[in-house]
Chains A and B, each alone.
Chain A
Amino acid sequence: MIAIIEIKDLRVSFHAYFGEVQAVRGVNLKLGDGDTLAIVGESGCGKSVTALSIMRIHNMDATEFKSGEILFDGTDLLKISEKEMQNIRGNRIGMIFQDPMTALNPSMTVGNQIAEVLLRHGRSAGGKRLSPKDARERATELLRRVKIPSPERRASQFPHEFSGGMLQRAVIAMAMACSPEVLIADEPTTALDVTVQAQILDLLKEMQREKRASLIIITHDLGVVANIAKSAAVMYGGLVVEAGTIGDIFYRSSHPYTRGLLDSISRESGRKNEPLKSIEGTPPDLVNPPAGCPFTDRCEYAMRVCKDRLPPESALSETHLCRCWMLDPECPLKIERGKL
């Protein structure tokens, strides 16, 4: 597998008035060319920060990249200049945001907002920059492509005249306008009606296939993961606690947190009146992150070592990684892979 994006030991901190928030504390991730990687985890576990770091679009005054590299096609994105980064954004890496209702400029027509990215990066067949008229035409074409009815009329409308699902289609059209190699979708369906979510996922898959893009999808919805991703990384407390293929995560999950997440899914087959399971407690405070495994306080298998030392990443197979002391050869609690 050739990796198009490889994140190595990424550490990102925010400087807030109450101290340094260590949002990402040493993340390793790989996105295979043409692959779909899901980053899963609850709020505040560092998944969005990881993805935004690839684009380098958080508030740069307060953000500090402590260490690590983000290799995109061989270039370290953390080392290049802001100008070079601008040439990559929207052109070779596209991004889709969580809430389409706020993701578009309210005082600019949807067509113009799509045309803007085309004017910035787009080239005609002859390699020349696009004229405003060509860009407008292409934008309308893109709206048609993402199945927005009467795209000519829609292109000259403003965001408030669209529904949420329609807007997310327009945002997808915008992110895909320059046929980027990588697409990052930060919870693309969370803010949408349940009935619209599946349509948007289908559209994403379709566009990904058509443009042969690699996709990183950030979500806390395991249903979305199963639907769209080939591999997944489960994040907790600023760390990747388990990563693997969809099969590894869903059928052979070895981390107590991943198991907890899977157990918390509501199932049709569940017995009547059985309360929905949940993981007790809250994620750790990342201003003073715990020395050991961040999940210790909520883990039913926690041992003394868990509190004191961070477990290393152990490889369970070529694709499957997990950070848990129970996988240590010296652990008295012998577990089989996938069974706790």
Chain B
Amino acid sequence: MKKYILQRLGIAVVTIFAVITLTFFLMHMIPGTPFTRENTNMDADVLAALKSNYGLDKPLWEQYIIYIANILRGNFGTSITYSNRSVADIIKTAFPVSADLGLRALFIGVSLGIALGIGAALHHNKGWDRFSSVIAVIGISVPSFIIGTLLQAAFGLWLSSWVKNVFHTSFQLFPISRWESFRYTILPSLALGIGSVAIITRLMRSSMLDVIGQDYIKTAKSKGISNAAILWKHEARNALIPVVTVVGRMVGSICTGSFVIESLFAVPGLGKYYVNSVTARDYTLTMGLTIFYSMFVVASTLAVDILYCVIDPRVRYTEVGK
């Protein structure tokens, strides 16, 4: 096990190095510089001064080596567009918000998805199954910004105007923008989570149906244990194994910020910085966020693989030749 984890960590380092290298050169292949849109007829001397200030006047390979050396020292540099903020500082303030939103959305996705999936499997081809299919199709095919906008219309427009007419206050139960208290988190989490609800529902349903047909469920029944015990101890537990893989992959993408949902609900998360940094060719910020993102994904994948050993005893990583 220890050897396996070390091996995986080694692979992770190589992966991240490859990501850094690729992103670095791809970034610089995009035409223009960070200063392109500031002023089209910028003075050549000023441009040269700016470039040399950020070290962009050196040959590309030299910039690459300097960048790698800085990263190894833990220095991700300063953002070019947000000139007084370091990349690390931006991640430190914005990531917790994104992660918070992501975890809430994930919680909704996992709990609702598993419940709907189990319900659908137990009532296979009946009303409940059809209902959860509809939810799943909506969740998969309707983009999150439409769901987000609809939620905003429902709670920010229709509900609040009704409240205004009836109670004569402008109180909003679930505010549609900013990120302040629990009430503010409901709508963005819902909008972000509905996609994962759909995916997990479908997966849990098919996985449960598969397990229910297994011989060992017959064995469990032949022991006389109650239906509830069969459901939790034998069916749901085994059906969860494939779901864990998918949830693990979701953690990486959902917690590192969603540009659409964050800008729609004015949530001060990472998503905005990521998209803006690319359009503004803010090399250091893009690089820093990409490295952070890939490290996060690699770590969550590794965590899932380790979790797998715990929940599925058939998966034990034994060293070859032993």
Contact = CB atoms under 8 A, between A and B. Distances in A.
Interface string B208-236: 00000011101111111110000001100
Contact of A89 (B215, B222, B234): B222
Given A103-B218, A171-B219, 5 more contacts: A57-B222, A86-B226, A89-B222, A90-B225, A91-B224
B216 A105 contact: yes
A90 B216 contact: no
Interface in A20-43: none
Interface of B: 214-216, 218-226, 233-234, 237-238, 241, 311-314
A94 B224 CA distance: 9
Given A97-B215, A103-B215, A103-B216, A120 B222 contact: no
A158 interface: yes
Contacts of A105: 216, 219-220, 233-234, 238
A116 B219 CA distance: 12
B224 A107 contact: no
Contacts of A91: 224
Contact of A97 (B219, B224, B225, B311): B219
Contacts of A89: 221-224
A121 B215 contact: no
Nearest to A98: B215
Contacts of A97: 215, 218-219, 222
Nearest to B238: A107
Interface of B is mostly: helix
B216 A106 contact: yes
B224 A88 contact: yes
A136 to B, nearest CB: 16
Given A107-B313, A117-B224, A102 B237 contact: no
Contact of A107 (B219, B222, B311): B311
A106 to B, nearest CB: 6
A55 interface: yes
24 contacts: A85-B224, A86-B224, A90-B222, A91-B224, A97-B215, A97-B218, A97-B219, A102-B215, A102-B216, A104-B216, A105-B219, A105-B220, A105-B233, A105-B234, A107-B241, A107-B313, A116-B220, A116-B223, A120-B223, A120-B224, A121-B224, A158-B313, A160-B314, A175-B222
A47 B87 CA distance: 72
A106 B223 CA distance: 16
A86 B225 contact: yes
Contacts of A160: 313-314
A9 B220 CA distance: 28
A264 interface: no
Interface string A88-129: 111100110101001111111000000011001100000000
Contacts of A163: none
A174 interface: yes
B224 A99 contact: no
A290 to B, nearest CB: 31
Interface string A213-227: 000000000000000
Contact of B224 (A87, A104, A171): A87
Contacts of A116: 220, 223, 225, 233
A77 to B, nearest CB: 13
B216 to A, nearest CB: 5
B216 A117 contact: no
Nearest to A109: B313
